[in-house]
Amino acid sequence: MKNIKPYINEHKDRFINELLDLLKIPSVSADPAYKNDVLNTAEAVKTSLEKAGCNKVEICETPGYPIVYGEKIIDSNLPTVLVYGHYDVQPADPIELWDSPPYEPVIKKTDIHPEGAIFARGACDDKGQMYMHVKALEIMTSTGQLPCNVKFMIEGEEEVGSESLAWFVPRNREKLANDVILISDTGMIANDIPSITTGLRGLSYVEVEVTGPNRDLHSGLYGGAVANPINILTKMIASLHDENNHITIPGFYDKVEELSRAERDEMAKAPFSLENYKKALDIDEVYGEKGYTTNERNSIRPTLDVNGIWGGYIGEGAKTVIASQAFAKISMRLVPNQDWEEITELFQKHFESIAPKSVTVKVKPHHGGQGYVTPIDNIGYQAASKAYEQTFGKTPIPQRSGGSIPIVSLFEQELKSKTILMGFGLNSDAIHSPNEHFGVWNYLKGIETIPYFYKHFTELSTK
Ligand code: BES
Ligand code: MN
Ligand code: MN
């Protein structure tokens, strides 16, 4: 492959500006108020794929937001790479915590990104990382170096559970047929420590509702004599972990894949500084399941976390009241072999069983998905590894991530192919948080590395 760096250098300002334009559209899938923006983003992605050299691009309608499909088929005897990404973003709230408006991207230098980072909602998750693939395609087509077939499938509901994609994939198996799936929607250890994500956790997301008296009550007249739903809910939630931070739901750990000592020792070789980890979060101590390291806790172990909790009076001043209801949103991150629907059921049964008779409890399952692990002895992983070697000058480290892309296990089930997760974001990029950003260096490095994946994957498959 001809050196592509000169092409990148010549076009890098345009590459950056095109991404900035995409980031200006607030494609928040969770909030119906942004519906038109989400649809406009799909159109923008479609146009970008056409310009990058796809010979067929379409907006595929679904029961929800559309899926942008594009392809460039050069020879049916050559392998096909299917690129997946998402054009929707998380809500920007709490907006007052942003240093600059979330949909007015700016480039600022940071300690970790001395060459500048793009600050905007979606910069890293996933518009910036998805767009690296569009630009990588442009480079390969305009320098005459696309070595195989490519298909793009960019969805608009990843941040809300990929329901429409789960509908679309089984109905379009033929169209989506591929030899490997390539995704940039995860991270790496550091800019000088490249890594490839080999695992994602599964997810079960539920909402719980605790109802006590039929109306809000005076907390003096009734306090102490009737159940306070907020007291009860917090007590129930607290009981979901024991003193070792093990989850107490019966059966929760039954299917958890236990890693061997040897595998855990291998994992522990990845560079990691607990001091820096704590410093970056301004915490004096880490916290978690007894018997596991920080990196094990956030990757190979399942978790249960309250994501939001509400009820009662939270306005100015004091109001003496016992609320009639209390609510919480709870996520459980799952590891290989745990089935998300089974875990959701176990949660529901247990949570209802621990409720005192003085309240009623409702558990509403939201969404979920299975975890995923890629073995590293396949040509997809090897092609990715060689690509990083070429552009980073180092062999990447395989690393399991704590995050979830629930649709990946469905890809394997429906399309029978492995997914390679080439993420170029950093944990410090603040995805889902205020001031999300993506390093300009990371963006360009991703664009540079991806074409080498195509090259090596094609070579390894046709060997
Ligand atoms: N891109 C993230 C997942 C991710 C980020 C995985 C970093 C590994 C490293 C994705 O957009 C995401 O946010 N997924 C959600 C799940 C989804 C069902 C809302 C998550 O992990 O919370
Ligand atoms: Mn994402
Ligand atoms: Mn996300």
Structure tokens at 97: 């915590």
Give the pLDDT of residue 383. 98
Atom 9 of ligand 1, residue of closest alpha carbon? 186
Q: Considering only CA atoms, give the Rg of the chain.
A: 23
Tell me which of 158, 163, 438 to substitute to probe ligand 1's pocket, judged by most ligand atoms within 8 Å of the beta carbon.
158
Does residue 93 surpass a pLDDT of 90?
yes
User: What is the pTM for the complete model shown?
Assistant: 0.94
What atom of ligand 1 comes closest to residue 427's alpha carbon?
7
β partners of residue 334: 202
User: Whose atoms come closest to the Cα of 200: which ligand?
Assistant: 1
Does residue 8 surpass a pLDDT of 90?
yes
Give the pLDDT of residue 180. 98
CB contact at 8 A, 52 and 61:
no
Confidence of residue 64 (pLDDT cuts 50, 70, 90): very high
- Summarised one tens digit per residue, pLDDT across range 206-250 is 999 999 999 999 999 999 999 999 999 999 999 999 999 999 999
- Summarised one tens digit per residue, pLDDT across range 116-130 is 999 999 999 999 999
- Summarised one tens digit per residue, pLDDT across range 312-321 is 999 999 999 9
Using the mean position of ligand 2's atoms as its centre, give its distance from the Cα of residue 86 in Å: 7
Write a three-state SS string for the chain. Answer: CCCCHHHHHHHHHHHHHHHHHHHCCCCECCCHHHHHHHHHHHHHHHHHHHHHCCCEEEEECCCCCCEEEEEECCCCCCCEEEEEEECCECCCCCHHHCCCCCCCCEEECCCCCCCCEEECCCCCCCHHHHHHHHHHHHHHHHCCCCCCEEEEEEECCHHHCCHHHHHHHHHCCCCCCCCEEEECCCECCECCECEEEEEECEEEEEEEEEECCCCCEECCCCCCCCCCHHHHHHHHHHCCECCCCCECCCCCCCCCCCCCHHHHHHHCCCCCCHHHHHHHHCCCCCCCCCCCCHHHHCCCCCEEEEEEEEECCCCCCCCCEECCEEEEEEEEEECCCCCHHHHHHHHHHHHHHCCCCCCEEEEEEEEEECCEECCCCCHHHHHHHHHHHHHHCCCCEEEECCCCCCHHHHHHHHHCCCEEECCCECHHHCCCCCCCEEEHHHHHHHHHHHHHHHHHHHHHHHC
User: Whose atoms come closest to the Cα of 407: which ligand?
Assistant: 1
Using the mean position of ligand 3's atoms as its centre, give its distance from the Cα of residue 24 in Å: 17
Give the pLDDT of residue 1. 82
Give the pLDDT of residue 150. 98
The per-residue pLDDT of the chain, averaged, comes to 97
Atom 19 of ligand 1, residue of closest alpha carbon? 159
Does residue 2 surpass a pLDDT of 90?
no
Structure tokens at 394: 């180092």
Does residue 390 surpass a pLDDT of 90?
yes
Give the C-alpha distances (Å, rounded to integers) separating 46 from 3, 37, 69, 153, 186. Answer: 28, 14, 8, 10, 23
Pocket residues: Cβ below 6 A from ligand 1 = 125-126, 158-159, 161, 185-187, 200, 203, 401, 403-406, 431
User: Whose atoms come closest to the Cα of 91: which ligand?
Assistant: 3
Give the pLDDT of residue 367. 87
What atom of ligand 1 comes closest to residue 160's alpha carbon?
19
User: Whose atoms come closest to the Cα of 424: which ligand?
Assistant: 1
- Summarised one tens digit per residue, pLDDT across range 407-422 is 999 999 999 999 999 9
Using the mean position of ligand 2's atoms as its centre, give its distance from the Cα of residue 462 in Å: 32
Residues with CB under 5 A from ligand 3 (ion): 125
Atom 18 of ligand 1, residue of closest alpha carbon? 161
Structure tokens at 181: 């799936």
Report the pLDDT averaged over residues 433-437. 98
Atom 5 of ligand 1, residue of closest alpha carbon? 186
Give the pLDDT of residue 239. 98
Does residue 46 surpass a pLDDT of 90?
yes
Report the pLDDT averaged over residues 68-95. 97
Using the mean position of ligand 1's atoms as its centre, give its distance from the Cα of residue 253 in Å: 23
Does residue 379 surpass a pLDDT of 90?
yes
Give the pLDDT of residue 463. 81
